[in-house]
Amino acid sequence: MTLLVYVKGCLLMDVRNRMADVVKLRCNACQDFLKMIIADNWQQFIYNKAKREVENNGRYRDKYISVYEKMREVGIDNYSIDDMDVTFISEVIHGCKKIAPTDDRTRKSIEQLTEDCNLTNHSGENENPEELYLRGLLALCNLRNFIRTVDKFETSIDDGVRINYRSTYAKLIEEVEDILDEERISLIQKRKDIEKDIKKLLNCTDEKQRLSLWCELERLYSDRYWKLEKDYDRYHEFVVAASDAEIREAHNGAISYFFLIKKDYEEGERRLFMLYESFDLLPVYEAKSIIDTINEYLMRGNTLTDGMEKLVKLVTGQGYQVERDEEGYFMWPKKKVKGQEGN
C-alpha cells in the first residue's frame, strides 16, 4: 500500500509565506534594475502610451489599464517604479525601448521571470508543498541568471553600480534559497517519519496490538508536538495520514481538523463517511459523534448537505432513533438500542 501524507493546508501556509518572499525579492530586483536604465521624465512617456492604449482599445490595453488608472489617481509625476510589478516592468523593457533601452539577452531573461510570475499567480490550494518549494528554488535560480545577465550585458550602467546590484541580490537570493532548501528537507523528513509510524500501525498482526500502538503513537504526537513543541501541523498531519491509511481511530481527529480548523466541510463530510464505513455495526459513541458533528456544523449557520442527510439516514438505519427538532438540529435518543454498546 502506498502511503500519501495529506498535506493540503497543513504545511501550505509556511511554503506560501516563502513563495511570497520569492515574489517580493524578484519584484524588487526588477524594480531596481529599471531604475538604473530608465530615462528621465519617463512617467509622461508611459502615461501617454497608456492613454492611447486605453482610449483606442489598443492591442496592449489590458497591460496598461491598471497603470493608466493608477497614474490618474495619484498623479503622473507621483507614479513610481515601485508601483510596478514584474509583468509591467517587462512590458516597459519590451515596449518602451526609447526610454528603457536594454540588451536582447536581458529582455529574454526577464521573460523567464514573467513566466515564473504567472506560475505563482495561478497556483492552487491543492498543490503539494514539496512542489512549491522546488518551484521557489527554480524561480530563485532564474532570478540569479537575470542579475548575472544584467551585470554582463547592460554595460551602459556604471560598472560599480552593476557590481553592487549583483552582489546585493546574489546575497539576498542565497539567503532565501537556504531557507527554502532547509524547510524542504525538513518537510521531506517529517513526511518520512509519519509514513514510518503509519506503516508500523498497518503491520500490526492483530486488532489489539494495533489499537495499543495507535494509543501510544497518538499520545506521543500529542505530548511532543501539540503540548511541548506547539507544532500543531505535525500532529494534524499524523492524524490525517492515519485516517488516509484507514486507521479508524484516527477518523475523528481528522474530522475535527477539517470541520473546526480548516473549515473544509466537503473533506470533513468525506471523513464522516470513512468513519461510518469503518464499522460493520456502528458503536453508539461513534453514532453520537457523527450526529454531534453534523449539529455543530448546522449551529455555525450552515445548510444540511445531501451527504449529511444520507449519513443521518444511515445512522437511523442501524437502529438509532434520531429525530430533527423544530430548530433543525438532530436530537439524540436517551436510550441505547440493545446490542449496540460497542464494536
Long-range contacts of 161-169 (CB under 8 A, 24+ apart): 161/36, 165/32, 165/33, 165/36, 169/25, 169/29, 169/32, 169/143
CA 259 to chain centre: 18
158-198 tens-digit pLDDT: 999 999 999 999 999 999 999 999 999 988 998 999 999 99
Instruction: Fold for 190-331, please state it.
Output: 1.25.40
Calculate mean pLDDT across residues 207-223.
93
Per-residue confidence band for 334, with pLDDT thresholds at 50, 70 and 90: low
- Run of H or E including 133: helix 129-153
Residue linked to cell 529574454: 108
How far apart are alpha carbons 329 and 290 in whole angstroms?
A: 13
pLDDT at 335 over 70: no
How far apart are alpha carbons 70 and 72 in whole angstroms?
A: 5
CA 128 to chain centre: 8
- Per the structure block, which three cell numbers stand in for 245? 491509511
Q: What mean pLDDT, rounded, does the chain reach?
A: 90
How far apart are alpha carbons 19 and 136 in whole angstroms?
A: 6
How far apart are alpha carbons 103 and 169 in whole angstroms?
A: 20
- Per the structure block, which three cell numbers stand in for 272? 464522516
pLDDT at 1 over 70: no
Indicate the domain borders of the chain. Answer: 12-187, 190-331
Give the E-state strand segments of the chain in sequence order: 323-324, 330-331
Calculate mean pLDDT across residues 141-159.
97
* pTM to 2 decimal places: 0.73
How far apart are alpha carbons 200 and 197 in whole angstroms?
A: 5
What pLDDT is stored for residue 10 in this prediction?
A: 41
What are the residues whose beta carbons fall under 8 Å from the beta carbon of 274, sequence distance 6 or more? 243, 246, 251
Least confident among 44-48, 87-91, 326-330 = 326-330
What pLDDT is stored for residue 236 in this prediction?
A: 93
Residue linked to cell 501550505: 12
Calculate mean pLDDT across residues 109-137.
83
Show the DSSP H helices in 203-334 as ranges: 207-221, 232-244, 251-256, 265-277, 284-299, 306-317
What pLDDT is stored for residue 122 in this prediction?
A: 58
30-43 tens-digit pLDDT: 999 999 999 999 99
What pLDDT is stored for residue 109 in this prediction?
A: 97
What pLDDT is stored for residue 128 in this prediction?
A: 81
- Per the structure block, which three cell numbers stand in for 326? 423544530
256-280 tens-digit pLDDT: 999 999 999 999 999 999 999 999 9
pLDDT at 69 over 50: yes
pLDDT at 233 over 90: no
How far apart are alpha carbons 278 and 18 in whole angstroms?
A: 39
What are the residues whose beta carbons fall under 8 Å from the beta carbon of 63, sequence distance 6 or more? 53, 87, 88, 91
